[in-house]
Amino acid sequence: MATEVKIPAMGESISSGILAAWHVKDGDYVKKEQILYELETDKITSEGAAEVAGVISIQVVADEEVDIGQVVALIDESAAETSTKEVASMPEVVPVLVEANTPAATAGDLVESKVDLATTLSPAARKVAEETGVDTVSISGSGKDGRVTKSDIINASSNPVAATPATTTSPSPDPEKINKLAQAAVPQGEREIRKKMSPLRRKIAERLVAATKEAAMLTTFNEVDMSAVIKLRKENQDRFVERHGLKLGFMSFFTKAVTHALKAVPQVNARIEGDEVVTQHFYDIGVAVGTDKGLMVPVLRDCDQKGFADIEGDIIGFSKAARDGKMQMSDLEGGVFTISNGGVYGSMLSTPIVNHPQPAILGLHNITERAVVINGEIVARPMMYLALSYDHRLIDGKEAVTFLVKVKEAIEDPARLLFDI
Would you give per-residue pLDDT tens digits along the chain (421 residues)?
689 999 888 765 677 788 888 999 999 999 999 999 988 876 677 788 899 999 999 998 888 888 888 999 999 988 766 544 444 444 444 444 444 444 444 434 433 334 344 445 656 666 667 666 666 666 666 665 666 666 666 666 655 544 444 434 444 555 565 555 555 555 666 788 888 777 777 777 888 888 888 889 999 999 999 999 999 999 999 999 999 999 999 999 999 999 999 999 999 999 999 899 999 999 999 999 887 777 789 999 999 999 999 999 999 999 888 888 788 878 888 899 999 999 999 999 999 999 888 999 999 999 999 999 999 999 999 999 999 999 999 999 999 999 999 999 999 999 888 877 7
Of 259, 270, 256, the closest CA to residue 359 belongs to 270
Q: Please tell me which residue in 76, 244, 284, 392 is annotated as part of the active site.
A: 392
- Distances in Å between the Cα of 135 and the Cα atoms of 138, 153, 161, 236, 261 are 6, 9, 12, 46, 53
CATH architecture of 200-419: 2-Layer Sandwich (3.30)
Contact 30, 54 (CB under 8 A): yes
The Cβ-side half-sphere exposure at 265, using a 13 Å CA radius, reads: 21
- Hey, CA dihedral for 286, 291, 293, 294, is it positive or negative? positive
Of 110, 93, 8, 82, the closest CA to residue 50 belongs to 8
Query: Within the chain, which residue ranges are assigned CATH 3.30.559.10?
Result: 200-419
Query: Within the chain, which residue ranges are assigned CATH 2.40.50.100?
Result: 1-83
- CATH, domain range 1-83: 2.40.50.100
pTM value > 0.85: no
CB neighbour burial string for 20-34, b if at least 16 within 10 angstroms, e if fewer? bbbbbeeebbbeeee
Q: Please tell me which residue in 109, 238, 396, 420 is annotated as part of the active site.
A: 396
Of 6, 11, 20, 7, the closest CA to residue 43 belongs to 11
Note if 392 is an active site residue. yes
